[in-house]
Amino acid sequence: MSDIILHHYPASPFAEKIRAILGYKQLPYRSVDIPLIMPKPDLTALTGGYRKTPVLQLGAHIYCDTRLMAAVLEQRAPQPTLLLPGHEATAAIMAQWIDANIFELSVASVFSPAGIAALQRRASAEALQALIEDRMAMRKNAAPPPATAEKARSLLPVYLAQFEQQLAGGRDYLLAQSPSLADFSLYHCLWFIAGNEGVAPLLDDYPQVKTWLGRMAAFGRAAQAGATELSSAEALQIARDSNAGGDTADWYEPLGFAPGTRVSVLPADTRQDPVAGELVLARRDEVGLRREHPQGGQLIVHFPRVGYEISAA
Ligand SMILES: N[C@@H](CCC(=O)N[C@@H](CS)C(=O)NCC(=O)O)C(=O)O
């Protein structure tokens, strides 16, 4: 039985990024279905307040942010690699840029009038309204403010044309003949658009991009075959029964925090839901906070440094 537990819901693009990586690496996992909107009590019991999707769990270790999850999965299964030799920085920086910028444009497209009309055919008016209100509340402190549908309409074609041109060079993936982190980042953004019939035609002028999207989607489908279901209560029990050891051996802390300092970690984009705990792991691009919860027991919640603000609690 796999010890990899993914907390997610089917419609989440960032979760699809991790599902596709699991599929590409042929890693089986246990799947916990989480609510689409707040409250998410069993999830936040594990994370200490972080509410975004997905969250990865290995025993009592809770990993927030898909960039860190990708690194953890790369360590778990180094082959096939996401860090193509000679493309490490290009792939990492492209992936970060796409996760922030193309994701914004895809959300703005899906929540444009054409996208909402398609969502209305699938969800009740109440469910849709609740989703929109939840996401507006989640982004109320966002800096910079979320992209508008107009911005998406004018900028998405610019970037799609660039990706089309890059793929037209004869490569199967963005940087080489095998996918890198950059492909998985672009994939989940365009998967979101392609899955909404109101805005899917936005991709019609880009045949190379659509062929590439089909290739990437096969990894997402492969992941489904490797998933077994787990309840959120069982996931909490697994956390409680596991060892929450920190790791101060390779302490790398440019901010000067000593092991055991109480710190708080805040997503730099949405600027809400800080997680507080005792710093027990500090690496170049990862911090781990120890905290305790009555149902989850002792937990270590991990964040990357890029995209998060760490301060004394
Ligand atoms: N930087 C985060 C972004 C995650 C994210 O924004 N996920 C979206 C879903 S695709 C989300 O959390 N939406 C609100 C929710 O699911 O409650 C990551 O890479 O994991």
Please tell me the predicted confidence (pLDDT) of residue 143.
83
Domain that holds residue 197: 88-219
Question: Is the same domain home to 75 and 92?
Answer: no
Domain boundary among 185, 219, 253: 219
Please tell me the predicted confidence (pLDDT) of residue 145.
87
Please tell me the predicted confidence (pLDDT) of residue 149.
97
Q: Which two tokens stand for residue 107?
A: 């959300």
Q: How far is the CA of 169 from the centre of ligand 1 (A)?
A: 32
Question: Is the same domain home to 207 and 141?
Answer: yes
Please tell me the predicted confidence (pLDDT) of residue 245.
87
Q: How far is the CA of 258 from the centre of ligand 1 (A)?
A: 30
Q: Which pLDDT band, with edges at 50, 70 and 90, does 246 fall under?
A: confident
Closest among 7, 83, 75 to 42, alpha carbons compared: 7
Question: Is the same domain home to 263 and 143?
Answer: no
How many angstroms from the chain centroid is the CA of residue 251?
26
66 lines ligand 1 (CB under 6 A): yes
Angle (nearest 5°) at CA 14 between 1 and 135 = 125
φ and ψ of 142, to 5 deg:
-60, 135
Question: Is the same domain home to 27 and 70?
Answer: yes
Q: Which pLDDT band, with edges at 50, 70 and 90, does 191 fall under?
A: very high
Total domains, the chain: 2
Question: Is the same domain home to 75 and 102?
Answer: no
Question: Is the same domain home to 209 and 268?
Answer: no
DSSP string, 194-254: HT-TTTGGGGTT-HHHHHHHHHHHHHHHHHHHTEEE--HHHHHHHHHHS----B-TT---T
Domain boundary among 219, 243, 265: 219
Question: Is the same domain home to 242 and 305?
Answer: yes
Lowest mean pLDDT among 22-26, 49-53, 142-146, 207-211: 142-146
Q: Which pLDDT band, with edges at 50, 70 and 90, does 98 fall under?
A: very high
CATH number, domain at 43? 3.40.30.110
Range 195-202 average pLDDT: 98
Please tell me the predicted confidence (pLDDT) of residue 1.
86
Question: Is the same domain home to 62 and 103?
Answer: no
Please tell me the predicted confidence (pLDDT) of residue 63.
98
How many angstroms from the chain centroid is the CA of residue 147?
19
Range 108-127 average pLDDT: 97
Identify the DSSP state of 99. I
Beta strands in 34-74 (DSSP E): 55-58, 61-64
CATH number, domain at 92? 1.20.1050.10
Q: Which pLDDT band, with edges at 50, 70 and 90, does 162 fall under?
A: very high
Question: Is the same domain home to 154 and 258?
Answer: no
Note the pTM of the prediction, 2 decimals: 0.98
Please tell me the predicted confidence (pLDDT) of residue 144.
84
For a ligand 1 pocket test, name from 9, 14, 97, 189 the mutation site with the most ligand atoms within 8 angstroms of its C-beta: 14
Range 48-73 average pLDDT: 98
pLDDT in tens, 280-311: 999 999 999 999 999 999 999 999 999 999 99
Domain boundary among 174, 190, 219: 219
Question: Is the same domain home to 172 and 109?
Answer: yes
Q: Which pLDDT band, with edges at 50, 70 and 90, does 73 fall under?
A: very high
Question: Is the same domain home to 241 and 295?
Answer: yes
Question: Is the same domain home to 182 and 99?
Answer: yes
185 lines ligand 1 (CB under 6 A): no
